[in-house]
Amino acid sequence: MPIDFQTHFPVMLPQVLETLCPQDGGIYVDATFGNGGYTEAILNTANCKVIALDRDPNVLPRVKELQAIYGDRLEFRAGCFGDFTELVDEQIDGAVFDIGVSSMQLDQGERGFSFSKNAPLDMRMSQSGQTAADIINNLPESELADLIYQYGEERKSRQIAAKIIATRKLKKIETTKELAEIIYSIIRRSPNSIDPATRTFQALRIAVNDELGELQKGLSGATTRLKSQGRLVVVDFHSLEDRIVKTFFKNNVGKNRHVSRYAVKPQEQDNAIFKECSKAIFPSEEEVRKNSRSRSAKLRYAVKQ
Ligand SMILES: C[S@@+](CC[C@H](N)C(=O)[O-])C[C@H]1O[C@@H](n2cnc3c(N)ncnc32)[C@H](O)[C@@H]1O
């Protein structure tokens, strides 16, 4: 089925542009090209260059579409942003990360990201490496329970893991529907709360794509490549990601301590990387009304010394 790139809204786009602040002549990295929404807006905001990264080969037609308009102002490099310093050796004016899975990936039911469509349990953004089915069918019970608990924040993780083990003794678990049914046999669906499969599917997706490890490495790599005054902007969607971003910024921002002019001790050397970092910024009510996917988004940014 052809992908409709036009029906997807880039999350918190006005805030991304305001905090990334693209300038003429600048070089910006869009670390999560996706549907190209941020890239296109950055290229329209300033006469700058965008280096776009994505691990999903399915984004290529959209890259080509934008290159036909913006020419060599848009360069695409396929790969994981965890390998930021290998993919980008330029000094850059800013980088933006829009973490997680794209609505396009969710809509491609056959890729197994969503429990609302029956498909093989795949969930690989890069379309290579271990699948969700590999994890579900091979991980020991206690590791599976820990994974579902830690990455899905699922309180019934032990029961779900036990049922998975019992089921896979009889037959390999291969599809999203089979896994969802196991979860529903433990947690009943209710019209007023989120689907009980949400948390276990999130956990698997995070594990299959090493999303938290990627984020940690991506933030460090991008920071290394930022010029002085360069800007790092991150949009994240759940508490596990947000904790990593918040901690990374907090650990690397200057204390901006006030030193009294009467102090005898010389001022301590400040090894901070960032001169400022923001608190969480949220989408507008209007955006959440128009695009429910944005409801859990948070944006944080930092500016290099
Ligand atoms: C939420 S979408 C980005 C949407 C984009 N901001 C837009 O406006 O269209 C996230 C994209 O990042 C990609 N992605 C996720 N993790 C990645 C990683 N570690 N390295 C490279 N790309 C990644 C996904 O394949 C997906 O296409």
Is the CB of 34 inside a 6 Å radius of any atom of ligand 1?
yes
Write down the CATH superfamily of domain 127-206.
Putative methyltransferase TM0872, insert domain (1.10.150.170)
Is the CB of 294 inside a 6 Å radius of any atom of ligand 1?
no
What's the CATH class of domain 5-104+212-304?
alpha beta
Residues 6 or more apart in contact with residue 6 via CB below 8 angstroms: none
Decide: helix, strand or coil at residue 259: coil
Percent of all residues in the chain with a pLDDT value above 70, rounded to a whole number: 93
Q: Which pLDDT tens digit goes with each residue over 219-241? A: 999 999 999 999 999 999 999 99
pLDDT of residue 271: 80
- Tell me: pLDDT of 217 over 70: yes
Assigned token pair, 8: 């997807």
Q: Which pLDDT tens digit goes with each residue over 238-253? A: 999 999 999 999 999 9
What number does the ligand 1 atom closest to the CA of 82 have?
A: 19
Mutate to test the pocket of ligand 1, among 15, 32, 296 (most ligand atoms within 8 A of CB): 32
Is the CB of 299 inside a 6 Å radius of any atom of ligand 1?
no
Q: Mind giving me the DSSP string for 27-76?
A: EEEES--TTSHHHHHHHHHSS-EEEEEES-GGGHHHHHHHHHHHGGGEEE
Mutate to test the pocket of ligand 1, among 55, 99, 287 (most ligand atoms within 8 A of CB): 55
Q: Which pLDDT tens digit goes with each residue over 151-197? A: 999 999 999 999 999 999 999 999 999 999 999 999 999 998 899 99
What number does the ligand 1 atom closest to the CA of 218 have?
A: 19
Cα–Cα distance for residue pair 171/217, rounded to 1 Å:
37
Task: Render the burial of 274-300: b for 16+ CB within 10 Å, e for the rest.
Answer: beebeeebebeeebeeebebbebbbbb
- Tell me: pLDDT of 264 over 60: no
Q: Which pLDDT tens digit goes with each residue over 56-113? A: 999 999 999 999 999 999 999 999 999 999 999 999 999 999 998 998 898 888 999 9
Cα–Cα distance for residue pair 293/280, rounded to 1 Å:
17
- Tell me: pLDDT of 263 over 50: no
Fold equal for 5-104+212-304 and 127-206:
no
Question: What mean pLDDT, rounded, does the chain reach?
Answer: 93
Cα–Cα distance for residue pair 276/256, rounded to 1 Å:
9
Domain extents for the chain? 5-104+212-304, 127-206
pLDDT of residue 268: 47
What number does the ligand 1 atom closest to the CA of 215 have?
A: 19
Strands (DSSP E) found in the chain? 27-30, 49-54, 74-78, 92-98, 226-236, 274-277, 298-304
Tokens 């829009």 -> residue: 98
Ramachandran quadrant class, 112 (left: phi over 0; alpha: psi -120 to 50; beta: rest) = left
Mutate to test the pocket of ligand 1, among 17, 28, 30, 33 (most ligand atoms within 8 A of CB): 33
pTM of the shown model = 0.92
